[in-house]
């Protein structure tokens, strides 16, 4: 069981350089086995060219390393917090993909300017605040995952499987690691299109709500995620 999970997470991690979402050792992918109460994540600081399935680290839901020769990703606390907050997700991706990271560094969410965006993400892709000086220096328990979970108290994480973290970069999620990677690729493409859209027309407006609804619900179904229909009223 663990070997299969490690292989899936290894293969999902290797998709990040394949799709141009990371350079060197940046980024990481994880996947959870909720029945076993464990998740597998990329080891910290290991180059993708050198990564093997055996290097993937196994963690429990208290944040303890269960198996692995390396330290887990430095973003492991964020992954763990998101698995606790978003009960229906199975995989998480963090990258430094250039276009999405540029929006994150600018501290801006990505408006929905078109149907490519609307097919996957319901509305503006939000940007979470970064940790304060006080939180960084005194609240060692608080991590980016807490800030994302707080932001999504008023958002549907299944209809919005992506977030930008100010001064850091994007996180995406999905039912498993591969789906989370798919959403990371979509996010980067949407981030690129939106940046160019604003360069072409600085006064561009987000897509009309009816177009967003048509495309999102056509792909995911009106009842795919509870609460979406209510938000339309």
Q: Give the residues lining the site for ligand 5SP (CB under 6 A).
A: 25-28, 42, 44-45, 73-75, 94, 96, 168
Nearer to ligand 5SP, 149 or 193 (CB): 149
Q: Is-catalytic flag, 113?
A: no
- Look up 119 and say whether it is catalytic: yes
Angle subtended by helix axes 98-106 and 177-200, to nearest 10: 70
Please state, in angstroms and as integers, the Cα–Cα distance from residue 36 to each residue in 92, 107, 232, following that order. Answer: 17, 37, 38
State the DSSP code for 2: H
Q: How far is the CB of 91 from ligand 5SP (least distance, A)?
A: 15
Which is nearer to ligand 5SP, 44 or 156 (by Cβ)?
44
Q: Residue 100's closest CA among 9, 49, 155, 27?
A: 27
For 115, the token pair is: 């149907």
Strand partners, 60: 38
139, 150, 223, 226: which is the annotated catalytic residue?
A: 226
Catalytic residue among 119, 176, 213, 217: 119
We find the least distance from the C-beta atom of residue 77 to ligand 5SP, in angstroms, to be: 11
Instruction: Yes or no: say if 38 and 2 are a contact pair by the CB < 8 Å rule.
Output: yes
Minimum distance from residue 95 beta carbon to ligand 5SP (Å): 8
Q: Is the CB of 7 or the CB of 96 nearer to ligand 5SP?
A: 96
Which residues belong to the active site? 119, 226
């Amino acid at each position: 069981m663990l070997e299969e999970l490690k292989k899936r997470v290894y293969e999902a991690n290797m998709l990040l350089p394949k799709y141009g979402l990371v350079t060197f050792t940046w980024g990481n992918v994880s996947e959870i086995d909720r029945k076993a109460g464990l998740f597998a994540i990329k080891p910290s600081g290991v180059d993708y060219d050198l990564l093997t399935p055996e290097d993937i680290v196994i963690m429990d839901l208290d944040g303890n390393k269960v198996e692995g020769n390396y330290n887990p990703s430095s973003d492991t606390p964020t992954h763990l917090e998101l698995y606790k907050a978003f009960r229906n997700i199975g995989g998480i991706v963090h990258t430094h993909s250039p276009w999405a990271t540029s929006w994150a560094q600018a501290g801006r969410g990505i408006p929905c300017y078109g149907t490519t965006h609307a097919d996957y993400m319901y509305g503006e892709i939000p940007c979470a605040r970064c940790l304060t000086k006080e939180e960084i220096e005194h609240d060692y328990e608080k991590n980016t995952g807490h800030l994302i979970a707080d932001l999504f108290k008023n958002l549907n994480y299944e209809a919005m499987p992506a977030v930008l973290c100010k001064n850091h970069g994007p996180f995406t999620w999905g039912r498993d690691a591969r789906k989370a990677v798919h959403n990371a690729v979509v996010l980067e493409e949407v981030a690129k299109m939106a940046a160019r859209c604003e360069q072409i027309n600085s006064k561009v407006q987000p897509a009309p709500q009816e177009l967003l609804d048509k495309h999102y619900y056509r792909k995911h179904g009106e009842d795919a995620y509870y609460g979406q229909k209510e938000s339309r009223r």
